[in-house]
Structure 1
Amino acid sequence: MNIGIYIYQNAEVLDFSGPFEVFSTANRFTGPDPAFNVFLVAEDTCPVQARGGYSINPHYGFSDHPHIDVLIVVGGIHMEELSKTNVIDWVAATSEKAELVASVCTGAFILAQAGLLNGLEVTTHWEDIDALRGSYADLTVVESRRWVDTGKVVSSGGISAGIDMSLHLVSRLVGAELAERTARQMEFEWRKNSL
């Protein structure tokens, strides 16, 4: 299963590193054939400067990535992304073909801008709840939840909540035992909440 994580300039480091670690750690327990092929996608393959000056090399750009089964859109300083037609169009088109779409933190704004959250319950970083409500009136923005699973779309709160959500995705896609083993290997106290 191909897990594509969308990153961009000033993306929040743990928003993409946390989910990447969850899926790559889960692969340690799935035998010789990994359950997940996890990779980072950006507009192109040039280095991306994430928050704090953290430089990261995406594996693929929009034009050369493999099919994405699960698209994860991360948060960060996201306002510029909302005005990029090519980004919003790519997110919408990729989501249409994906089995699951997820957001971490303010990545929910990008999914909302792409029209993927209409009429759904969603969550985001606590600091951005009011802004998400004010910007997209057709969403039901949920507070005090680590993640919200509505079926095809899963959204999570800020930063570290993306790890909880990703463990939930492992549980959904493969099984609870693998998610538990992954959390234990990461020495992470998995906070489970869902609909």
Structure 2
Amino acid sequence: MDTTITKTVYAASAVLYALLVLTIFLRKKLILKRAGKCVLSVRPRSAKFSASIIVCAPFIMLFSAFVDLRFYFKWMLCAVALLATEIAVREASTLRSSGVYENGIVTEGEVILFTHISGAKKGSETGEIRGECIAELEVRGKGMRRITYADEGERDAVLKAIFECCPQLKRGMV
């Protein structure tokens, strides 16, 4: 019985993996539709992370099929591979489209609408990690979102564009 269930899990994992990868362009289209017209485009993020996970995830699932593990470990490896694929696909869907748009900010596979943002500011000096330039957005219902930019000029340009699109947020700047 365990082999039948395990085979079903592998088949379902393969189908889910394929669906996740095939949705990259659909996700991008839907995100950009919600975001509106581009106001400021930022430097594209590297695709190495997303591509390597998307390539390696099926090998993790195959590895679990050929290694003698208990069936729940095999299921767990499939679940971890699918979760990693979801994260990579989410990131890959907006790699070349990150920036400020008329309705919000597109970053890391999502659009943060201006209507959901209650404040925006530069990252605090103590919050800077290894010289990274961070913009902090207070998002209603989700808490503080920290977005990393390539340099201070890019971060400042993004904050300026945000405040031009949504002037009421300027009061929240520190």
- The alignment's TM-score, normalised by the length of structure 2, stands at 0.24
Point out the structure with the larger helix share: 2
- The alignment's TM-score, normalised by the length of structure 1, stands at 0.23
The structure with the larger Rg is 2
